[in-house]
Amino acid sequence: MMTFFLSPLPHLRAATALMVCTLAGLAPASAAWAAPYTATHASNRGNNGPSVTFSAEQVTHGAQIYAGACAMCHGADLEGGHDVPDLGNYFMARWANTPLDRLAGYITHAMPLMAPGTLPPQDTAALVAFVLHHNGVTATSNTPLPMEEARQAKIRIPAPQALAAAPASKP
Amino acid sequence: MKRRDLFAASLAAGIVGATRRGWASVPEASAALGRTALHGTIPRLVPIRAHADQITDIKVCLRPFRPAGPRLEVEHVAGKTVVHNYGHGGSGWSLSWGSAHMAVGHAAATLERKVAVIGCGIIGLTSALTAQRAGFDVTIYTRDLLPHTRSVRANGSWTPDSRIALTQQAGPGFAKTWEQMARYSWQTYRDYLGLPGNPIDFRDNYTLSDTPLDAADHAPEQVDPAKGSFATTGAPQNSAEFAIYASQISDIIPAAELLAGADNPFPVAYARRTPLMIYNFGAYGHLLLSEFYQAGGRIVIREFHSPSDLADLPERVVINCPGYAARDLWNDKSLIPVRGQTSWLPPQPDALYAVEYRGAAMISKSDGVMIQGYDMNGLGEMDGVGNSFEHPDRAEAEKAIAIIGDLFARFQPRNG
Ligand SMILES: Cc1cc2nc3c(=O)[nH]c(=O)nc-3n(C[C@H](O)[C@H](O)[C@H](O)COP(=O)(O)OP(=O)(O)OC[C@H]3O[C@@H](n4cnc5c(N)ncnc54)[C@H](O)[C@@H]3O)c2cc1C
């Protein structure tokens, strides 16, 4: 069995397809070794301010933008690499409790690295929704994540709540 | 024969073409496998002095093999968030940094500042260092320090997909995880190359055979249907069940090259050379431990008898790296022992290379000449599977040393 290194595109398409199927409520099968550690962001309230909302459409759109503009460096699974920051666990730890406008602003000004400033606000908001969703953050409603900086500033990125009791996984 | 060799062959072939590609058929692969080592690049090799009366040590180890691959889940036990990081089969050294990166990611998501690491084998040590680099205050709790762990009873070379999982039980998702781990580890190891004492180094590894290597590569894996499989018996039954992922990272791992007849210094008909990353346990272990202490790490010698013992640790997050011991400590009966043994002869700093011949491997390292009979009975990946006899077998050691000894008894050192 050989792996072909022709183009990263098939991976990206696969990632998008996976996202769509997750949104449709079809949980992808996952093997025991990698039970996704997501049930930890359950509470997305309690840090003084409105809770995060984003729409399923934003997540889907964000996945497309991600595949085209971000996955090349950050990886099809947002895993990053030795020299590239991940957008998973470490990312959430770095950004937890930060106002959302900082993240959106950073993406707008600095990303993608090879063409900063090229993402319109709706794409940036969609990307943020996609990344939060990928990290197990659940939206409290289907209201889209706002694009305006002033409204984003009132929302804080939820902290992962790994210390909360979660069902024990058996080997 | 070993499919691993097929990949080594295909990797060599991959270098030739401008783009990376897979081979549609075995004949196509063998036709393309033509890159020979540049004439004059085989240095004059000093013979290895391999004889059983030179044995300084025989070490036995159980590879912590899990059919589904290593356990990297998060579990809540005894009031703690426990991140598991164990079950790396025959690939623990190779995958350590990548696996640690994933485990520490789970710990980071807790936003805690302190973390406890259980175990000081190669998985525990690299997890502890990775946690420090991520900003944690780290305490290692362990029964033994590295020199007494199973880790230092390994062969100690880059073998990232050696008995790491069963293809079917691990599933395609693990192939991706494996690739992330392997790439991350490989890149981290580069930071330890070229240092005083050579904690991490490369050796030219000569794969030798009396029969065409190419034919051996492409012989189909022997599968005896009467034996069943893991799915039907609960234990692996055939080499072919073991996952092979090496081709996924062929873009960064040096390929093999054939030694043309005139360049082949060995008394065998067929030879190829592959640069192999190796771990000098002494230098590397000391370096990791000093790095850990320099960054403010603490070590507490302690044995846990049950997961409930974690309750009285001051840390709320625990990275659990007990290796094979998880079978009892965490009652993880999916761990299957895979026995392996290495013999150690005095260091030969004048002969720094490696050979593989008739199921025995020799690596000349800074802390000794390591000889391992990894497949002397034609069992392939099944060698040692299910065997938990963790006691030296002198006869096995002598047999492996004799293979290497016999090779060099016929060796004619050449001039220039
Ligand atoms: C013959 C052989 C050759 C190998 N060759 C290679 C190779 O070339 N390349 C490669 O990458 N891999 C190789 N491996 C595999 C590699 O050695 C293992 O995957 C690796 O050592 C596992 O490391 P570990 O830290 O998980 O476990 P261990 O080294 O077993 O460490 C476990 C730690 O946990 C501690 N501990 C255990 N129980 C308790 C308890 N109850 N309380 C407190 N502490 C506890 C121990 O004291 C120890 O410190 C080989 C293995 C064998 C057997």
Q: Which of B46-60, B151-165, B248-262, B321-335 has the lowest mean pLDDT?
A: B248-262
What is the 3-state secondary structure of chain B? CCHHHHHHHHHHHHHHCCCCCCCCCHHHHHHHCCCECCCCCCCCCCCCCCCHHHCCEEEEEEEEECCCCCECCEEEECCEEEEECECCHHHHHHHHHHHHHHHHHHHHCCCCCEEEEECCCHHHHHHHHHHHHCCCEEEEEECCCHHHCHHHHCCCECCCCCCCCEHHHHHHHHHHHHHHHHHHHHHHHHCCECCCCCCEEEEEEEEEECCCHHHHHHCCCCCCHHHCCHHHHCCCCCHHHECCCHHHHCCCCCCCEECCHHHCCCCCCEEEEEEEEEECHHHHHHHHHHHHHHCCCEEEECCCCCHHHHHHCCCCEEEECCHHHHHHHCCCCCCEEEEEEEEEECCCCCCCCEEEECCEEEEEECCEEEEEECCCCCCHHHCCECCCCCCCCHHHHHHHHHHHHHHHHCCCCCCC
The whole-number pLDDT of residue A6 equals 35
Under 8 Å between Cβ of B339 and B384: yes
Q: What percent of chain A has pLDDT over 90?
A: 62
The whole-number pLDDT of residue B213 equals 78
Q: Is the CB of B159 under 6 A from ligand 1?
A: yes
Across the range A48-67, mean pLDDT stands at: 93
Nearest CA residue ID for atom 19, ligand 1: B92
Q: What is the DSSP string of A61-89?
A: HHHHHHHHHTHHHH-TTS---SSS--SSH
Q: What is the mean pLDDT of chain B?
A: 91
Across the range B196-203, mean pLDDT stands at: 97
Across the range B14-42, mean pLDDT stands at: 55
Across the range B124-130, mean pLDDT stands at: 98
How far is residue B346 from each of residues B238, B256, B359, B365, B399, measured CA to CA in Å? 36, 28, 22, 10, 18
Strand partners, B3: none
CB contact under 8 A, A82 and B183: yes
Q: What is the pLDDT of residues B175-193, one digit of tens each?
A: 999 999 999 999 999 999 9
Please tell me the pTM assigned to this model.
Answer: 0.87
Q: Is the pLDDT of residue A35 over 70?
A: no
The whole-number pLDDT of residue B159 equals 98
Residues of chain A neighbouring B136 (CB-CB closer than 8 A)? none
Q: Is the pLDDT of residue A112 over 50?
A: yes
Would an 8 Å CB–CB cutoff place B69 in contact with chain A?
yes
Residues of chain A neighbouring B251 (CB-CB closer than 8 A)? 5
Q: What is the pLDDT of residues B236-280, one digit of tens each?
A: 999 999 999 999 999 999 999 999 888 999 999 999 999 999 999
The whole-number pLDDT of residue B216 equals 65
Confidence band for B223, pLDDT divided at 50, 70 and 90? confident
Span between the terminal Cα atoms of chain B, in Å: 34
Q: Take residue B295 and report the two structure tokens written for it.
A: 């960054």
The whole-number pLDDT of residue B135 equals 97
Residues of chain A neighbouring B113 (CB-CB closer than 8 A)? none
Query: Which domains does chain A carry?
Result: 50-152 (1.10.760.10)
Confidence band for B218, pLDDT divided at 50, 70 and 90? low
Q: Is the pLDDT of residue B352 over 70?
A: yes
Size of interface A-B (CB pairs under 8 A): 112
The answer to ipTM > 0.90 is: no
Residues of chain B neighbouring A92 (CB-CB closer than 8 A)? 109
The whole-number pLDDT of residue A43 equals 47
What is the SS3 assignment for A156? strand
Residues of A with CB under 8 A from a CB of B: 1-6, 29-35, 37, 40, 75, 77, 79, 81-83, 86, 88-90, 92-93, 96, 159-160, 162-163, 165-169, 171
Q: What is the pLDDT of residues B70-115, one digit of tens each?
A: 999 999 999 999 999 999 999 999 999 999 999 999 999 999 999 9
Q: Is the pLDDT of residue A99 over 50?
A: yes
State CA B303 to chain mean position distance: 26
Q: Is the pLDDT of residue A20 over 50?
A: no
The whole-number pLDDT of residue B261 equals 85
Q: For chain B, how big is the Rg over CA atoms in Å?
A: 21
Distance from CA of B26 to the nearest CA of A (A): 11
Q: Is the CB of B122 under 6 A from ligand 1?
A: yes
Q: Which of A12-26, B127-141, B180-194, B260-274 has the lowest mean pLDDT?
A: A12-26
The whole-number pLDDT of residue B415 equals 52
B112-140: b (≥16 Cβ within 10 Å) or e: beebbbbbbbbbbbbbbbbbbebebebbb
Under 8 Å between Cβ of B155 and B360: no
Tallying the residues shown for chain A, one arrives at 171
Confidence band for B212, pLDDT divided at 50, 70 and 90? confident
For residue B314, how far is its CA from the centre of ligand 1 (angstroms)?
A: 26
For residue A154, how far is its CA from the centre of ligand 1 (angstroms)?
A: 49
Number of other residues whose CB lies within 10 A of the CB of residue A36 = 11
Nearest CA in chain A to B251: A5
The whole-angstrom separation of Cα A48 and Cα A146 is 18
Under 8 Å between Cβ of B177 and B243: no
Q: Is the CB of B285 under 6 A from ligand 1?
A: no
The whole-number pLDDT of residue B324 equals 98
Between A19 and B393, the more confident residue is B393
How far is residue B193 from each of residues A32, B226, B242, B287, measured CA to CA in Å? 35, 48, 31, 12
The whole-angstrom separation of Cα B124 and Cα B332 is 18
Q: Is the pLDDT of residue B232 over 90?
A: yes
The whole-number pLDDT of residue B162 equals 97
Which member of A2, A29, A35 has the closest CB to residue B73?
A: A35
Q: What is the pLDDT of residues A131-158, one digit of tens each?
A: 999 999 999 899 999 999 999 999 999 9
Tallying the residues shown for chain B, one arrives at 416
